[in-house]
Amino acid sequence: MNASTVDKTLVVLPNNLGDVIMATPLLEGLRKNHAPGFIAYLVEEGFEAGLINNPHVDTIITFPRRHIRNLLNSANCQEGIQDLTSTLYGIDGLQFDTIVNLSQHPYVSYLVSAIYARNRMGQHFLLEGNHAVDDDWSQYLYAVPFARSCNDLHATDVYRRIAGACEHCGRGTIVLSKDELQDAGRLLAECGVRSEATKLMLFQPGAAMASKRWGVDSFVALGRRLTNVGWTIGVMGAPFEKEEAGAIVNGIEQSAFLLAGHTSFRQAIGITAHAGGLVTGDTALMHAAAALQTPLYALFGSTSPVETGPYASGCWVFSARCKKRPCFRESCDAMSCMKSIAADDVFHCIHHQAPPSGARCDIFRTVLEPNGDYSLIPVAGAEQYYVNTADAVILRSAFEEHVQVAHLIDELDLQQTCRNGGQLLEKLHAMIDLLQQFTESKDRSHITNFEHMKGSLETLEGIGAFWKAVLNIRLNSITLCDPLRAITASLQVCRRTARQIEQAIAPHTASIESSITE
């Protein structure tokens, strides 16, 4: 069939290697939904390594962001404009039917708006002068940072819902060619390691954010314990991480070798495919190892394993005990969260495949449920979980039917969630009344009062804060060029949001009232 006659979809996520790999399950779902459709993936130049050989991508489009940015900020700005225009014309010439923009960077909103498509998911820029997010699941994605404890979905599972791509194989997709696997075996042989060695453990100490890095001393302590029971340790990393990786190799002293600075990312993936395990923080290599089903021991501090944990079943996740988690800070002087993950606890899970008693950190296992969704199951500690399950269940039931959860819902939490939702509904109905009164009287005082009422939503917490964020995203997506039409659209948005909340809360409110009566 000619490519011009099939449904053509452009997936846009140029952010970083980890995010690119996390989005690969939706590509398989798209392929199944639109076979034999044409799928392209727009990625920032340098991050295409997560997509090479992917059977569900027909075209990888690399965007030279740094090159164009540097030209635009120099005396050669006209050349930069020409390069940008040429790149966009080339993409537009592919005549996509659908664009799925998973990126939250504003500059990407401008890019995708310059490319014609009948259907758009995610943020785009309107000719009237504002950014808009029209579809429910993209609005959900944008609201997550405002109330993370209300979300129990992995980023990959939100991506899949945005694209309407539910089916996948149960992990991400990383495909290595025969040549790549042989090249990885050659690199290991040069380090004195047989590629078929079953007790090769890899360490990846580096991470994009300093707050996500486990200490050198911790890696050394773990490495010594592992080599004592027969493991060989390979320490990975980028060229600028070579000094830190070398310190770990020197500290372990025996049966350890340096790989940092000697491999490309594709070569690192190939070596990971040969390994018996990988110990790493929240990194791109973690996501690649999960896709390859390499045994994985993931260390989480400032970021959330609920949102960006290893997307596969059976991975071990070690999470620092900290009341502020996930803080998403890029750096931290104390680093008490990562320091609370003890080398002995990680060793116990590797050597015995079971959590130790009295672990200093929280330990989880990952599961991909029958419906394809990721779950994080506590196996040690975890008195302080990442998610308020009651908030998450009611929130998700506003966006989809047949919500499945891996944790029991506490009835007191459920009552509080319904109360918080009820408080928001009261304010929403008051806002709706004010907009309705304005449409009837054109008295501007009603708009002033509406804005005051909207400002009072800042005091809401929990699920109320999440819905406040969703409402603001929807209202901010309305163009203001025609004020009267904007007010009518705002009224529709408030009514729609109120209906969603009411439909989600009503069944649980009835259940609570029934149990109280009994």
Per-residue pLDDT tens digits for 340-370? 899 999 999 999 999 999 898 999 999 998 8
* Phi and psi, residue 377, nearest 5°: -105, 120
From 336-340, 383-387, 513-517, the region with the lowest mean pLDDT: 513-517
Count CB-CB contacts under 10 A for residue 485.
Answer: 12
Q: Are 213 and 205 in contact (CB under 8 A)?
A: yes
For residue 396, tell me if it sits in a domain.
Answer: no
Q: Are 38 and 7 in contact (CB under 8 A)?
A: yes
Question: Are 124 and 244 in a shared domain?
Answer: no
pLDDT at 403 over 80: no
For residue 405, tell me if it sits in a domain.
Answer: no
Question: Are 29 and 73 in a shared domain?
Answer: yes
Q: Are 303 and 280 in contact (CB under 8 A)?
A: no
Question: Are 419 and 314 in a shared domain?
Answer: no
**pLDDT-based confidence at residue 404 (cuts at 50, 70, 90):** low
- Residue 387: alpha-carbon gap to chain centroid: 15
Question: Are 73 and 148 in a shared domain?
Answer: yes
Tell me how far apart the alpha carbons of residues 45 and 71 are, in angstroms, rounded to a whole number: 15
Q: Given this model, what pLDDT does residue 154 score?
A: 96
Three-class SS of residue 73?
A: coil
Radius of gyration of the chain (CA): 25
Question: Are 16 and 74 in a shared domain?
Answer: yes
Hey, what amino acid is at 452? H
The Cα-based distances of 104 to 109, 112, 142, 207, 342 in angstroms read 8, 12, 7, 21, 35
From 175-189, 193-207, 261-275, 449-463, the region with the lowest mean pLDDT: 193-207
pLDDT at 509 over 80: no
204 forms bridges with which residues in the sheet? 280
pLDDT at 332 over 80: no
SS (H, E, C) 294-323: CCEEEEECCCCHHHHCCCCCCCEEEECCCC
For residue 452, the number of C-alpha atoms closer than 13 Å in the C-beta half-sphere is 8
CA-based angle 429:433:434, to the nearest 5? 120
Tell me how far apart the alpha carbons of residues 446 and 414 are, in angstroms, rounded to a whole number: 35
Hey, what amino acid is at 53? N
We report the CATH number of the domain holding residue 365 as 3.40.50.2000
CA-based angle 135:141:147, to the nearest 5? 130
Q: Given this model, what pLDDT does residue 337 score?
A: 77
Question: Are 184 and 150 in a shared domain?
Answer: no
For residue 170, tell me if it sits in a domain.
Answer: no
Tell me how far apart the alpha carbons of residues 252 and 502 are, in angstroms, rounded to a whole number: 59
- Domain end position, chosen among 163, 196, 225: 163
Question: Are 184 and 236 in a shared domain?
Answer: yes
Question: Are 110 and 226 in a shared domain?
Answer: no
Question: Are 154 and 185 in a shared domain?
Answer: no
For residue 119, tell me if it sits in a domain.
Answer: yes
Question: Are 370 and 343 in a shared domain?
Answer: yes
pLDDT at 164 over 50: yes
For residue 379, tell me if it sits in a domain.
Answer: yes
**Tokens, residue 383:** 């008195």
Domain, as residue range, for 15: 3-163
For residue 85, tell me if it sits in a domain.
Answer: yes
Question: Are 335 and 208 in a shared domain?
Answer: yes
Question: Are 428 and 284 in a shared domain?
Answer: no
For β-strands 123-125 and 119-121, DSSP reports them as unpaired
For residue 452, tell me if it sits in a domain.
Answer: yes
What mean pLDDT do residues 151-172 have?
88
Tell me how far apart the alpha carbons of residues 332 and 288 are, in angstroms, rounded to a whole number: 27
Phi-psi region of 303 (alpha: psi -120 to 50; beta: other; left: phi over 0): beta
**Tokens, residue 286:** 């973690």
**Residue with the larger pLDDT of the pair 382 and 32:** 32
Listed in sequence order, the DSSP H helices in 125-264 are 136-143, 155-163, 178-190, 216-228, 242-252
DSSP conformation letters of 94-122: T--SEEEE----HHHHHHHHTS--SEEES
- Domain end position, chosen among 130, 163, 196: 163
Tell me how far apart the alpha carbons of residues 178 and 354 are, in angstroms, rounded to a whole number: 34
| In the chain, % of residues over pLDDT 90 | 72
| In the chain, % of residues over pLDDT 70 | 95
Contacts of 63 (CB under 8 A, 6+ apart): 14, 42, 43, 44, 45, 87, 111
Q: Given this model, what pLDDT does residue 301 score?
A: 87
Best CA proximity match to 262, nearest among 234, 288, 237: 237
Tell me how far apart the alpha carbons of residues 98 and 63 are, in angstroms, rounded to a whole number: 19
- Domain end position, chosen among 163, 197, 220: 163
**pLDDT-based confidence at residue 508 (cuts at 50, 70, 90):** confident
For residue 393, tell me if it sits in a domain.
Answer: no
Q: Are 451 and 475 in contact (CB under 8 A)?
A: no
**Tokens, residue 33:** 């939904």
pTM of the model: 0.93
Element (H, E) at 200: strand 200-204
CA-based angle 235:237:243, to the nearest 5? 80
Domain count, the chain: 3
Q: Are 126 and 132 in contact (CB under 8 A)?
A: yes
Average pLDDT, the chain: 90
Q: Given this model, what pLDDT does residue 13 score?
A: 95
Q: What is the pLDDT of residues 104-149, one digit of tens each?
A: 999 999 999 999 999 999 999 998 989 999 999 999 999 999 999 9
Best CA proximity match to 140, nearest among 127, 130, 155: 155
The Cα-based distances of 72 to 64, 84, 113, 210 in angstroms read 12, 10, 20, 30
- Residue 351: alpha-carbon gap to chain centroid: 30
